[in-house]
Amino acid sequence: MKSAPTAPHSDASTEFEALLARITACDATVAIIGMGYVGFPLALATHAKGYHVLAYDIDASKIEKLNAGKSYLKGISDEAIGNMVKEGRFVASHTPADLVKADAIILCVPTPLTKNREPDMSFVVATTQTIAEHLRPGQLIALESTTYPGTTTDVMQPMLEAGGLKAGHDFYIAYSPEREDPGNGLFSTHSIPKVIGADDAKSRSLAMALYSNIVTQAVPVSSSATAEAVKLTENIFRSVNIALVNELKMVFEKMDIDVWEVIRAAATKPFGFMPFYPGPGVGGHCIPIDPFYLTWKSREYGMPTRFIELAGQINERMPGYVIDRLREGLDLHQRKGLNGSRILLLGLAYKKDVDDVRESPSMIMFEKLQDYGAIVEYHDPIIATIPHTREHGRLTGLHSVPLTEKQLATYDAVLIATDHSSIDYGFIAQHSQLVVDTRNATHNVADKSRVIKA
């Protein structure tokens, strides 16, 4: 791994020019902290542009796999990691002292919510403290984790300056929100434009130089807080529109109108309409969480966010609505209740064709159905075993059951929670006693006599 010159006593202007030159020439070392769904693809994209990459994570098992050329995420092959290791410009580490070698350090760490639906900044704070202990003059620090406006300036910067170095003079700090969309084959890390925000011109120019080399387009904004607000706005937009169609789904169902048909027809309008689709709730690391970062921060200014909070409430009630529809279906078709019924939950991931269960409504419905006395099993072609999660520990270690005609016959109902592309929904409808479809996965099925929408 290439070591950058430390030059602790050199002129700050000279250091800045030297750092800018290394970044522009793709001759810098970039440390990426957090080798998850954001940091892992970013490491690949950064390495592909010629940079030396230091992949950092506190999970020693991830580091061992990376250095051995092994992948642990769906969509990233062992070959891709192995090639990086062989080329000699990539190394993975969980040793904090190695961060001093980096010219730029990018944080891709989780920003979840607490049990009280408030921002959990513990990962950002702990990581920033680690960086601060090894910070040297002439480094660029960039945060990518989704957070509330002011985090970079009010939380990170004071911690980094506590050792005597000053932002914008001795070191540089910026915010560039991640825009990963796992499972989306149309866009990659490289092809998605990046928003770049910083509070001083030098920090902004360095971050622009770095990201301009990694992605197709870097979009500068006036401050880190503005960039933080951009990310929240993007995901609040999605949350609000998903809540709208979820509410329409419930209303139209009472009118015996198929919301999916309505949306499909409305989407033919070439202006003034953008299709969003209902489901059993929202999941992943963004939509269920990010809006609450702004609602929390807005209280500081005495500004209620009733519209955003209402959207969150609608989306949060959807797993319960789906279970109510399942209960109605069992009563109508099977003449039985949930207690004692055998239910197959089809799909655990929060969206199709990914292996991510973070904030997945499937996990919520799994536990709710168990609480009602149902006997629940699941099938997911991508998630063979349920991983440990903080919220759903009792489901840890359960295994996906086979999807066979004989197996389907044992269930009173199949609940389609995730519409994975590899599943034959015609087969499901043909061999199941009852199908509750939350994703319109059975829209092409000829015989829908045992299918209800939810």
| Residue-wise pLDDT tens digits, 162-178 | 999 999 999 999 999 99
Q: Is the pLDDT of residue 34 over 60?
A: yes
Q: Which helix (H) or strand (E) holds 53?
A: strand 52-56
286 has catalytic annotation: yes
The predicted-structure confidence for 430-440, as pLDDT tens digits, reads as follows 999 999 999 99
Which residues are CB-contacts of 174 (< 8 A; sequence separation ≥ 6)? 140, 141, 142, 143, 152, 196, 197, 198, 203, 204, 206, 207, 224, 227
pLDDT at 7 over 70: no
Would you tell me how many other CB atoms lie within 10 Å of the CB of residue 242?
A: 21
Entry pTM: 0.91
Strand locations in 79-170, DSSP E?
90-93, 104-107, 140-143
pLDDT of 5 higher than 80: no
Q: Is the pLDDT of residue 317 over 90?
A: yes
- On whether the CB atoms of residues 442 and 429 are closer than 8 A, the answer is yes
- Which of 143, 263, 286, 386 is catalytic? The answer is 286
Contact 145, 111 (CB under 8 A): yes
Q: Which pLDDT value is given to residue 219?
A: 98
CA 241 from chain centre, in angstroms, equals: 18
**pLDDT tens track for 241-285:** 999 999 999 999 999 999 999 999 999 999 999 999 999 999 988
Domain 12-221 matches domain 238-453 at the CATH topology level: yes
Quick one: pLDDT band at residue 183, thresholds 50, 70, 90?
Answer: confident
Instruction: Tell me the pLDDT band of 390, cut-offs 50, 70 and 90.
Output: confident
DSSP label of 424: -
The CATH code of domain 238-453 reads 3.40.50.720
Residue ranges per structural domain of the chain: 12-221, 238-453
Q: What is the CA radius of gyration of the chain?
A: 24
What is the predicted pLDDT for the residue at 8? Answer: 46
Q: What is the pLDDT of residue 6?
A: 46
d(CA 159, CA 362): 39
Edge-first strand listing for the sheet containing 375-379: 375-379, 342-346, 413-416, 435-437, 451-453
Residue 239 — pLDDT band, cuts 50, 70, 90?
very high
pLDDT band at 2 (very low <50, low <70, confident <90, very high): low
Calculate the CA 358 to chain-centre distance.
Answer: 8
Q: To the nearest 10°, the Cα dihedral for 346, 442, 338, 280?
A: 70
Q: What does residue 368 show for φ and ψ, rounded to 5 degrees?
A: -65, -40
- β-partners of residue 415 are 345, 436
Look up the CATH number of domain 12-221.
3.40.50.720
- DSSP annotation of 167: B
Percentages (nearest 5) of helix, strand, coil residues in the chain: 40, 15, 45
For residue 60, count other CB atoms closer than 10 A to its CB: 10
- DSSP E strands: which ranges in 75-139? 90-93, 104-107
